[in-house]
Amino acid sequence: MTTGMNEIMIDLQGGAKAPLYQKIYDHLKKEITCGAISKGTRIPSTRLLAKQLMVSRSTVEMAYEQLLAEGYIKSEACRGFFVCDITELYQLEGKQNKSEGLNADFTSEPVWGKETAKKLPDCYADFSPDAIDTEHFPYNVWRKLNKDVWLDDREELLLSGEGQGDERLRNVIAQYLYQARGVNCHASQIILGAGNEYLEILLAQVLGTKKKILMEDPTYLQAYHTFCNLGFQVETILGSDKGIEIESVHEIQPDAIYIMPSHQFPLGTVMPQKARLELLNWANEKEGRYLIEDDHDSEFRYRGKPIPSLQSFDRNGKVIYLGTFSKSIAPSLRVSYMVLPLELLREYRRKCGFYSTTVPKMQQEVLRKFIEEGHFGRHLNRMRAIYKAKHDFITAELKKYKWVKRVSGDHAGLHVLIEVDTNLTEQELCEQARKAGIKINGISEYYIHKQEERCNPVILLGYGKLDNEKIKEGLKLLNEVVETAD
């Protein structure tokens, strides 16, 4: 039997300052949640409650509309408003954090400890190689594009869209890749995904996981851990400025090789053309061999002519190309792309064609406009000039210090490698620097296999996030650390 209420006492005078409709809403929600007003109870009409509380009817209507929207009450034609069964509603207030009391094994950092997980409370200069310049991001343009996209009121913006990503966006990416990196592809060969790791998960399903992959060491560890988690057999070879030697490839006999020929991370080396062509010839010798080219930060090069991608020399569909907008726009954008050879594209559609895209439709639309209207090109050119100025500044500053034994990896990207002449070990140097308010990373953090202790530690100094003053002062602090130790 349905019960009804003709009056509800609500104190609109006391309590915190808030709109009247908010106080009505809060009171009714609280009474319904605690069970004071039970399921099925008919509450007063908006006209009756407005008269009783001596407020406008629209004020009560606003409160009721909010309760209706959140599922606390329902409206029945010609009958009135009734309290709903709220047992299935999310109750977020007052819930104990279920993570409290968990074993420390589940709350500690990952064992491989990506460096960004180590937080330094009072960090003056963050020389992280992953950091980018956020000060010069075109916030106004991005804000306007977001607003313009929503003004269209198109239903398609609320839908998941094509599994490979919006075709119009893939078209502009294909044009950009051809112009900037020499990549030969059609929009149909491009797969969009929320980060390279997701695309590598897709690739594992396309290639099959019972494969052997060869990687350089040190390397981009996220890719290494992803491949291991997927069940690939991962073999490694020590990285060098000569690239991967073809003799080692024949000895290991992998099914695929993961490489960063335009700018190897973290060593910063550029693979010689001879080594590139040798790898392409190796892939062409046998069916089922592929080269996975990660071209993650190739946009930023400071010496010589731009080096075309390895994929641009591929004539037999042997190169799988990976790229991202994380460095060129922002890491939070979470848009990466994979270009599949035609043979693998058929496998992708057969095995993964039913997957939905992991990149929100709105994000894709804004990115498309950002590229199509020329904003991306202007932003990229501006950031190249900014990063080159920072690169030139930090390399000039490093020449002032005697402990800088060798600088390498300074042709491209957003970091340089420094061999430090000091009595400190690499770990000691990084720890002492952190205590002094400087965040630096040692090269050993990026090795898959533990290496023998070096005579001199090698550190990475990223300059993407820092302005000239912080670079200068940060190096002075690092100088104090080295001089104090020696």
What DSSP line would sit under 211-266, residue for residue? -EEEEEES--HHHHHHHHHTT-EEEEEE--TT-S-HHHHHHH--SEEEE-SSS-TT
pLDDT at 7: 80
Report angle CA 447, 448, 453 to the nearest 5 degrees.
Answer: 45
Provide the pairing of β-strand 336-339 with 319-324. antiparallel
pLDDT at 183: 94
Residue 324 has pLDDT above 50, yes or no: yes
Residue 17 has pLDDT above 80, yes or no: no
- d(CA 305, CA 478) in angstroms, rounded, equals 33
Mean pLDDT of the residues in the chain: 88
Q: Is 485:428 a contact under the CB 8 Å cutoff?
A: yes
> Which H, E and C letters describe 83-146, residue by residue?
ECCCCCCCCCCCCCCCCCCCCHHHHCCCCCCCHHHCCCCCCCEECCCCCCCCCCCCHHHHHHHH
475-485 pLDDT per residue, tens = 999 999 999 88
Provide the pairing of β-strand 415-420 with 404-408. antiparallel
Residue 101 has pLDDT above 50, yes or no: no
Topology (CATH level 3) of domain 139-377: Aspartate Aminotransferase; domain 2 (3.40.640)
Closest CA to 127 of 406, 381, 436, 400: 436
- Type of residue found at 98: K
338, β-bridge pairs: 191, 322
Q: What is the CA radius of gyration of the chain?
A: 29
So where are the chain's domains?
Answer: 1-96, 118-135+380-485, 139-377
pLDDT at 88: 59
Q: Is 344:314 a contact under the CB 8 Å cutoff?
A: no
- d(CA 136, CA 464) in angstroms, rounded, equals 11
Evaluate the omega torsion of the peptide bond into residue 44 and state whether it is cis, within 30 degrees of 0: no
What is the arithmetic mean of pLDDT over 380-403?
94
- Type of residue found at 413: G
- d(CA 257, CA 282) in angstroms, rounded, equals 10
Domain 118-135+380-485 superfamily per CATH? Aspartate Aminotransferase, domain 1 (3.90.1150.10)
Number of Cβ within 10 Å of residue 164's Cβ equals 25
Tokens 């390399």, residue located: 395
Closest CA to 481 of 444, 439, 445, 453: 439
Residue 114 has pLDDT above 80, yes or no: no
436-465 pLDDT per residue, tens = 999 999 999 999 988 877 789 999 999 999
Residue 210 has pLDDT above 80, yes or no: yes
pLDDT at 284: 95
Band of the pLDDT at 156, cuts 50, 70, 90? confident
Number of Cβ within 10 Å of residue 237's Cβ equals 17
165-200 pLDDT per residue, tens = 999 999 999 999 999 999 999 999 999 999 999 999
Q: What is the dihedral of CA 39, 40, 43, 45, to 10 degrees?
A: 140
Q: Is 383 exposed, middle or buried (0-12, 13-18, 19+ CB in 10 A)?
A: buried
Token couple for 383: 């950031």
Q: Is 459:412 a contact under the CB 8 Å cutoff?
A: no
The string of DSSP letters for 132-199 reads ---TTS-HHHHHHHHHHHHHT--GGGGS---TT--HHHHHHHHHHHHHHH-----GGGEEEESSHHHH
pTM over 0.85: no
Residues 6 or more apart whose Cβ sits within 8 Å of residue 415: 127, 129, 266, 268, 409, 460, 461, 462, 463, 464
**Better-predicted residue by pLDDT, 11 or 400:** 400
pLDDT at 237: 93
Topology (CATH level 3) of domain 1-96: Arc Repressor Mutant, subunit A (1.10.10)
Q: Is 37 exposed, middle or buried (0-12, 13-18, 19+ CB in 10 A)?
A: buried
Q: Look at the chain and count its residues.
A: 486
412-422 pLDDT per residue, tens = 889 999 999 99
| Least trusted range by pLDDT, from 4-8, 174-178, 216-220, 240-244 | 4-8
Residue 91 has pLDDT above 80, yes or no: no
What is the arithmetic mean of pLDDT over 291-302?
88
